[in-house]
A and B are shown apart, each in its own frame.
Chain A
Amino acid sequence: NAGVTQTPKFQVLKTGQSMTLQCAQDMNHEYMSWYRQDPGMGLRLIHYSVGAGITDQGEVPNGYNVSRSTTEDFPLRLLSAAPSQTSVYFCASSLKAVQMTGELFFGEGSRLTVL
């Protein structure tokens, strides 16, 4: 099993550019989420999805869009990148919604730098 796969692993953008971080899981998990990790800030939830066609905002959603057209994929879109979005982004999935004490499986992360 590949688990949770994120692409790209590294990306450099200029301010104002747009891009999509890809996330795919092959475990038939219902729940998928995106976190960003910044030094001294821990992991902060951006958006999450409890199933195909259902998405919701987390703690820091501004500047990001998501969609969940299939169970497997959960892309994160940056519409107009800003230096404040420089971070390491993690996609994570769980068999069931996390409130059922499900384990979160994380990808290896995507390191984004916005100049």
Chain B
Amino acid sequence: TQLLEQSPQFLSIQEGENLTVYCNSSSVFSSLQWYRQEPGEGPVLLVTVVTGGEVKKLKRLTFQFGDARKDSSLHITAAQPGDTGLYLCAGIFGAGSYQLTFGKGTKLSVIP
């Protein structure tokens, strides 16, 4: 079983602060996704990254995929209470795999 390590596990910040969460593996991802989950709901896709070194922006969220495709980060600028939720990274290991492996998630609380 491939492992994805996410850090930090919990994060509580004030509105307006910046933050970064990380997703790491000892194996190479063929692709990596970030999801956001709110209480009582299923995860919702934020972004998919495929190419090493790739950077994608989604409003105040910036996603980076490491050059070696073993790590990724999610940076949120000027966090808002609406950003509160569980952030999950999920990766495909190997181009022929049918399995999407999830990390344990980072639980973010943004305090007004």
Q: Which residues of A contact B (CB under 8 A)?
A: 4, 31, 33, 35, 40-45, 48, 50, 56, 58-59, 90, 92, 97-99, 101, 103-104, 106-109
A43 contacts B31, CB within 8 Å? Answer: no
Any A CB within 8 A of the CB of B79? no
B102 contacts A108, CB within 8 Å? Answer: no
Chain B binding site: helix, strand, loop or mixed by DSSP? loop
> How many Å lie between the Cα of A44 and that of B90 in the bound state?
11
Given known A104-B100, A109-B42, contact A99–B95 (CB-CB < 8 A) = yes
Given known A99-B30, A103-B48, contact A40–B104 (CB-CB < 8 A) = yes
Given known A42-B104, A59-B1, contact A99–B43 (CB-CB < 8 A) = no
Contact partner of B45 among A50, A56, A104, CB < 8 A? A104
A-B pairs under 8 A by CB, number: 69
Which chain B positions have C-beta within 8 A of A99?
Answer: 30-31, 92, 94-98
8 A Cβ contacts from B5-26 to A: none
- Closest beta carbon of chain A to B24's beta carbon, Å: 14
The 9 lowest CB-CB distance pairs between A and B, nearest first, are A106-B42, A42-B104, A43-B102, A103-B45, A98-B100, A101-B31, A42-B102, A101-B48, A90-B42
A106 contacts B44, CB within 8 Å? Answer: yes
Interface centre among B1, B42, B45, B88 (most CB of A within 10 A): B42
- Closest beta carbon of chain B to A66's beta carbon, Å: 14
Which chain B positions have C-beta within 8 A of A40?
Answer: 104
Given A42-B102, A99-B92, A109-B42, 15 extra CB contacts under 8 A: A41-B104, A42-B88, A43-B90, A43-B102, A50-B98, A58-B99, A59-B1, A59-B99, A98-B98, A99-B31, A101-B31, A104-B33, A104-B45, A104-B90, A109-B41
